[in-house]
Amino acid sequence: MAEIAPERLLVIVSENNCMRMELHIPDAVEDLIEEVKNACGLGGHIRLQYKDTDFGDMFINVTSTSVIKDLTILKVIQLDPEATTVVLYPVNTPMSSTLSLDIDSEDCPSLLSALPSDTALPSQRPSKSHSFRTTLSVNCRGQTLSLQTAKLH
């Protein structure tokens, strides 16, 4: 029985550092990351991106190893372990958010006057046909301005 040849990868470690790798692509992204870290002598936290020819050769985050084929170009992104990464996923349930700001500054009158005065604010809560609602309240030295937005389904 013939052995399956490993995939050939070009790994961009940094702007002036590229490496060629040959390996059998593991099933899990975490295992692929470990293979790349070991082969390139990297420590710490990294993310991998691959060059996607379907999207004009843009580098896209690797979320599945099924996208890694022979002659794929991978790019290593060093991550700061102190930083927080937020991953957003689309949801089908209604969402809302509220942001309130208290500003104690001499620039309050100019800040409030820079906002549009003819903005139509909803007088009632958005109906269930809205999929997202945002409320922003700014309290600037006793003057309060509230803005609400809603995105329809």
pLDDT tens across 72-110, in order? 999 999 987 776 555 555 555 555 555 555 555 555 555
Lowest mean pLDDT among 16-20, 57-61, 124-128: 124-128
> What pLDDT is attached to residue 2?
72
11 pLDDT more than 70: yes
Candidates 149, 127, 126; CA nearest to 136 is: 149
Residue 10 token pair: 């070009």
Residue recorded with tokens 């710490």 = 44
pTM: 0.54
Lowest mean pLDDT among 17-21, 39-43, 87-91, 138-142: 87-91
The arithmetic mean of pLDDT across residues 57-71, rounded, is 95
DSSP characters for 53-77?
A: GGGTTEEEE---GGG--TTEEEEEE
The arithmetic mean of pLDDT across residues 128-150, rounded, is 61
Q: Which residues contact 54 (CB under 8 A, 6 or more apart)?
A: none
Query: By the 8 A CB rule, do 145 and 116 touch?
Result: no
Q: What are the tens digits of pLDDT across the range 13-23?
A: 999 999 999 99
C-alpha dihedral (69, 14, 55, 24), degrees to nearest 10: 10
Query: What's the rounded Cα separation, in Å, for the pair 133 and 98?
Result: 8
Lowest mean pLDDT among 49-63, 117-131, 139-153: 117-131
Q: Where in the chain is the domain with CATH 3.10.20.90?
A: 7-79
DSSP characters for 28-51?
A: SHHHHHHHHHHHHT--SEEEEEEE
> What pLDDT is attached to residue 52?
95
Is CATH 3.10.20.90 correct for 7-79? yes
